[in-house]
């Protein structure tokens, strides 16, 4: 019997195949098998049976079930006894996909709530003009687009790694957990904001917000829970200085942003030098993360003590990584905005210096503003997490189950 299998039974296709881990007779190790509902001859039914469908809170477009496979036929996939390795390759890609899915739901929440905020009036103004509504929209944009940026970067590293790029392999090795976990957690916060923008209307089925809120909640649970990923990240992935390649990459991009800023481009070089401000803050954040990582993975710290607050480490790590993504986005936006200011051909050179009002220019300004938002409103949250981790706080560890 197997539980929590998604898509194992439904009426949308003639045959359904399952990838399954099991041991070959006489072996202690795990192999990977393909188990179809209909055998290779195309007519014989395999001995698989649906036990029950799970009644889920959301994600209702796909079925999830408990099923039995007593006496079922499975075909070996890959080499015998190498099942775990085969599966892990698939699962790494799946984790990027969960991140992208979470980002997509987050972005959808932004779009729906923005649309509503632009139409809905209260006290004689569109509610999109109210600071608290703008805050909730900005936070959604910061979470969703920051997540997208991270996932797309990771997908690029995934392709490079398949082509044999060693640095990409190392970078992917240390970021897979955050690519899955951060969007799942923070785009859920975003979807909560989206519902809040609509108020009561967000709570009813007339709008899609309540569905996004229910659907998104699954992402912290499936493909490895948030807690497991936090433990894997701190307990395994960043051990032995293996996060250094990521720290180096983030520092390089901070430097790149600074160089571009001092080159004097558009909005970013005006009164508010967002690129320089954020590059400085990113450098500090990377230093902080590196210091915490070194302390927690050093031989002087007991492993149990270090891992107790693994979730705080994930928060610190994730917010730092998303800050980095936002600086990359803002750096690109500033460059493109600069082009809008200058005009991109001789004919429009007379417009140089005029404030550009094209849709593209507005979008670039929004990217830079959202970057500033993330650095000023979100990144500072990591300071408390870092302090907690450095104190090797044992409050949680010392709590006795009988005391609840």
* Binding positions for its own copies, 194-233, rule CB under 8 A: 195-196, 199-200, 202-206, 210, 213-214, 217-218, 220-222, 225-227, 230-231
- The answer to whether 183 touches 151, Cβ cutoff 8 Å, is yes
CA distances to 184, 217, 369 from 105, rounded to whole Å, are 10, 10, 22
CB of 336 to its own copies, least distance (A): 14
Q: Collapse the DSSP code of 30 into the 3-class scheme (helix H, G, I; strand E, B; otherwise coil) and give the result.
A: strand
When asked if residue 10 is in the footprint of its own copies (CB under 8 A), the reply is no
Nearer to its own copies, 51 or 57 (CB): 57
Q: Collapse the DSSP code of 105 into the 3-class scheme (helix H, G, I; strand E, B; otherwise coil) and give the result.
A: helix
**Residues from 139 through 178 that contact its own copies (CB under 8 A):** 141
CB of 56 to its own copies, least distance (A): 5
Nearer to its own copies, 220 or 246 (CB): 220
Q: In the set 90, 259, 363, 390, which binds its own copies (CB under 8 A)?
A: 363
CB of 57 to its own copies, least distance (A): 4
User: 207: which 2 tokens?
Assistant: 């709008």
- The answer to whether 234 touches 306, Cβ cutoff 8 Å, is yes
Q: What track of x and - describes contact with its own copies for positions 233 through 272 (by CB under 8 A)?
A: ----------------------------------------
CB of 316 to its own copies, least distance (A): 13
Nearer to its own copies, 14 or 200 (CB): 200
Nearer to its own copies, 220 or 329 (CB): 220
For CA atoms 232, 237, 241, 245, the dihedral sign is negative
Nearer to its own copies, 76 or 396 (CB): 396
343: left (phi over 0), alpha (psi -120 to 50) or beta: left
Q: In the set 12, 26, 55, 88, which binds its own copies (CB under 8 A)?
A: 55
CB of 350 to its own copies, least distance (A): 25
CB of 286 to its own copies, least distance (A): 18
CB of 376 to its own copies, least distance (A): 5
When asked if residue 84 is in the footprint of its own copies (CB under 8 A), the reply is no
When asked if residue 399 is in the footprint of its own copies (CB under 8 A), the reply is yes
**Residues from 303 through 342 that contact its own copies (CB under 8 A):** 307-311
CB of 80 to its own copies, least distance (A): 26
- The answer to whether 247 touches 286, Cβ cutoff 8 Å, is yes
Q: In the set 128, 168, 322, 329, which binds its own copies (CB under 8 A)?
A: 128
Q: In the set 138, 154, 161, 268, which binds its own copies (CB under 8 A)?
A: 138
CB of 78 to its own copies, least distance (A): 27
In Å, the largest CA–CA distance within the chain is: 80
C-alpha 99/C-alpha 242 separation (Å) is 22
Nearer to its own copies, 168 or 233 (CB): 233
Nearer to its own copies, 15 or 225 (CB): 225
Q: Collapse the DSSP code of 76 into the 3-class scheme (helix H, G, I; strand E, B; otherwise coil) and give the result.
A: strand
Q: How many residues does the chain have?
A: 404
What is the residue-wise DSSP string for 315-354? HHHHHHHHHHHHHHHHHHHHHHHHHHHH-SSGGGGGGTTS
**Residues from 90 through 119 that contact its own copies (CB under 8 A):** 110, 114, 118
The strand order across the sheet containing 49-53 reads 2-6, 64-68, 49-53
C-alpha 208/C-alpha 56 separation (Å) is 17
- Report which of 143, 148, 137 is spatially closest to residue 194, judged by C-alpha positions: 137
C-alpha 365/C-alpha 360 separation (Å) is 9
Output phi, psi for 357, to 5 deg. -120, 10
């Amino acid at each position: 019997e197997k539980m929590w299998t998604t898509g194992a039974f439904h009426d949308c296709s003639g045959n359904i195949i399952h990838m399954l881990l099991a041991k070959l007779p006489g072996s202690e190790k795990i192999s990977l098998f393909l188990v179809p509902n209909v055998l290779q001859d195309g007519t014989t039914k395999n001995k698989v049976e649906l036990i029950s469908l799970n009644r889920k809170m959301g994600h209702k477009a796909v079925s999830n079930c408990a099923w039995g496979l007593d006496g079922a036929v499975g075909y070996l996939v890959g080499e015998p006894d190498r099942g775990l390795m085969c599966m892990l390759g698939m699962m790494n890609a799946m984790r990027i996909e969960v991140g992208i899915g979470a980002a997509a739901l987050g972005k959808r929440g932004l779009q729906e709530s923005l649309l509503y905020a632009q139409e809905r009036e209260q006290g004689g103004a569109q509610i999109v003009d109210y600071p608290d509504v703008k805050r909730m929209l900005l936070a959604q944009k910061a979470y969703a687009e920051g997540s997208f940026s991270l996932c797309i970067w990771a997908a690029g590293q995934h392709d490079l790694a398949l082509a044999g790029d060693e640095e990409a392999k190392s970078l992917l090795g240390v970021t897979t957990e955050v690519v899955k976990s951060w969007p799942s957690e923070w785009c859920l916060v975003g979807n909560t904001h989206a519902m809040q923008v609509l108020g009561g209307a967000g709570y009813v089925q007339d709008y899609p917000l309540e569905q996004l809120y229910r659907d998104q909640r699954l992402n912290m649970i499936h493909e490895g829970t948030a807690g497991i990923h936090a433990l894997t990240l701190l307990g395994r992935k960043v051990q032995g200085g293996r996060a250094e390649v990521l720290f180096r990459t983030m520092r390089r991009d901070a430097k790149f942003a600074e160089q571009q800023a001092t080159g004097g481009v558009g909005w970013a070089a005006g009164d508010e030098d967002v690129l320089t401000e954020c590059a400085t803050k990113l450098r500090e954040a990377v230093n902080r993360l590196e210091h915490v990582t070194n302390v927690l993975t050093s031989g002087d710290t007991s492993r149990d003590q270090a891992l107790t607050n693994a979730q705080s480490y994930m928060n610190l790590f994730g917010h730092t990584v998303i800050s980095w993504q936002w600086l990359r986005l803002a750096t690109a936006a500033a460059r493109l905005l600069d082009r809008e200011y200058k005009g991109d051909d001789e004919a429009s050179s007379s417009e140089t210096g005029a404030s550009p009002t094209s849709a593209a220019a507005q979008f670039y300004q929004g990217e830079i503003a959202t970057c500033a938002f993330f650095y000023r409103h979100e990144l500072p949250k990591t300071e408390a997490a870092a302090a907690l981790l450095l104190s090797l706080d044992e409050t949680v560890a010392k709590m006795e189950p009988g005391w609840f």
